[in-house]
Structure 1
Amino acid sequence: MTADTEGTAGATRQALRSMLAEEQARVLARVAKLEVDIDALTSARRSESDDDEHDPEGVTLSSQWSMLGGLLESAREDARQAESALHRLAEGTYGVCASCGNAIPAEQLEVRPFRERCVPCASKLERG
């Protein structure tokens, strides 16, 4: 590899690291906000009766709790994937499919920066 090629690869790697770090920061901010929302809901729930299923004013605390819990679980999984992507970048395996070992097309990484598998391998996993 020439010095020019190494410089380009280093710049690309730094750009990827910056993009992944920004994505990770967004995900972690989402996790933090959802945790605050759940804490607020927990406080509200303490002041309400346990039977909130017949609240005529709208959404019940139970349904809010369930929704926020699902969103928080999803955000935490995204945070795990962000951390994993940064580790793969440091190891030099970012952008390489964990199943088949082929390069993941850049277009796929643009859509899902934390992607670990190419679309065909991810589809196989989902089916089965």
Structure 2
Amino acid sequence: MAALEAERADATAQVLDLDRAVAGVVEASRDSNADDEHDPEGATIAFERAQAIAVRDRQRSRLREVDAALGRVADGTFGRCERCGCEIAPGRLLARPTSHTCVTCADARR
């Protein structure tokens, strides 16, 4: 499925970019003598680092979801709800190709 492969490539690129961003923030703070707690800029550095790590972790999660969807394509279960076994509506898969449940089962989980 081309959409999933494209999404995988995008997520992978973003994870790599964010890994570099996190490393850059860590390296920048390493070059400073001040610690985050007592440096007026420290809170900003700590915030930037936490922000980059959080975004990277979300992208890693997205990548795991895409890989799981590609696994379902490979084993022939893509497009079937993991809970009830019914077909997932094509519109849902178009909007969210990593969906693993139908709308009914997704709503029931909320």
- Determine whether 1:98 maps to 2:82: yes
Structure number with greater CO (CA < 8 Å, separation at least 6) is: 2
Q: TM-score, normalised by structure 2?
A: 0.88
What's the offset of the Cα at 1:107? 0.9
Alignment RMSD (CA, Å): 1.8
Aligned equivalents of 1:91, 1:33: Cα separation in 2: 31
Does residue 61 of structure 1 match 2:45?
A: yes
The answer to whether 1:86 aligns with 2:70 is yes
In the TM superposition, residue 86 of structure 1 has moved relative to its aligned partner by 0.7
Q: Matched residues in 2 for 1:104 and 1:118: separation?
A: 5
Give the ranges of 4+ consecutive aligned residues of structure 1 lying more than 4 Å apart after TM superposition: none
User: Structure 1 length as normaliser, TM-score?
Assistant: 0.77
Moved more, 37-46 or 47-56: 47-56
Larger radius of gyration: 1
Name the CA distance, whole Å, in 1 between partners of 2:106 and 2:29.
Answer: 40
Output the CA distance in 1 between the equivalents of 2:25 and 2:102: 39
AA aligned to 2:41 is: D
Matched residues, number: 108
Q: Deviations over 1:47-73 (max 9, x none)?
A: 2321366239xx701111111111111
**Aligned pairs for 1:18-33 within 5 A:** 18-33=2-17
Percent identical across equivalent pairs? 30
Q: Select which of 90, 104, 109 maps to 1:120.
A: 104
Distance of 1:121 and 1:46 partners within structure 2? 48
Q: Which segments of 5 or more consecutive residues in structure 2 lack a partner in the other structure?
A: none
User: Amino acid of the residue matched to residue 88 of structure 1?
Assistant: R
Q: In structure 1, what is the equivalent of residue 95 of structure 2?
A: 111
